[in-house]
Amino acid sequence: MAYDPCRPVHYVIRPDHAPPGGDALVHEAFARVSDVTGLQFVFDGATDESAWEDRPSFQPDRYGDRWVPVLVSWQTEAENPELAGRVAGLAGSAIVEPPGGPRVFVTGVVGLDAAAFGDMLADPAGVAGARAVVLHELAHLVGLAHVADPGQLMYPTTSTVLDFNAGDLTGLSQLGGGECVPNV
Ligand SMILES: [Zn+2]
């Protein structure tokens, strides 16, 4: 399962609660995931959309006649209880299956714990870890699952791994090589 590599993946950021430096981190991470997947990401600007659960994939009044862009939100733990405790980010994508296939991702959501990132980014020693969390979440967005190897960035818990390693890169490269699905 992957995004259609023949069209750009659009994203928007809901800026509420964004920590200083946070949005730049998100843009850098999308650029990095683009480098390693070949997928193209296009920033469409800020949004005031705050949907999370059951987000409609088609919202023509807000986004026009297309799949909604990926929504990146800086969230409080009150707003998204799934970010409580040590969880600093969550991400996933929505699937469409046209008649005859293939199943394809058309949009997604990324939730980042505003307070946790505020703490990480306020400490020069925390910036690399913050970047690693965003990379991990964007890898989930494009379809990578967790792995059991603690040497990979897709290991489920925070570790000393701060960038994609060989296993991550192999998976990401494959996720950039999905089928083109022009009829979706
Ligand atoms: Zn994860």
Q: What is the 179 CA–ligand 1 centroid distance (Å)? A: 25
Report pLDDT digits (tens) over 31-62: 999 999 999 999 999 999 987 888 999 999 99
Residue 46 Cα to ligand 1 midpoint, Å, equals 25
Spacing, Cα 146 to ligand 1 middle (Å): 6
Task: Compute, in angstroms, the gap from residue 131 CA to the centroid of ligand 1.
Answer: 14
CA 180 / ligand 1 centre spacing (Å): 27
In the sheet that holds 89-96, the strands lie side by side as 41-46, 9-14, 70-75, 104-113, 89-96
Q: How far is the CA of 25 from the centre of ligand 1 (A)?
A: 18
Q: How far is the CA of 60 from the centre of ligand 1 (A)?
A: 31
Distance CA 82, CA 113 (A): 10
Distance of CA 92 to the CA centre of its chain: 7
Q: State how far the Cα of 44 lies from the Cα of 34, in Å rounded to an integer.
A: 16
Using DSSP's 3-state secondary structure scheme, residue 20 falls into: coil
Per-residue pLDDT of the chain (184 residues; tens, 9 = 90+): 999 999 999 999 999 999 999 999 999 999 999 999 999 999 999 999 987 888 999 999 999 999 999 999 999 999 999 999 889 999 999 999 988 889 999 999 999 999 999 999 999 999 999 999 999 999 999 999 999 999 999 999 877 899 999 999 999 999 999 999 998 9
pTM of full prediction above 0.95: yes
Domain ranges in the chain? Answer: 9-175
Choosing among 3.40.190.10, 2.30.29.30, 3.40.390.10, 3.90.25.10, the CATH entry for 9-175 is 3.40.390.10
Q: How far away, in angstroms, is 17 Cα from ligand 1 center?
A: 22
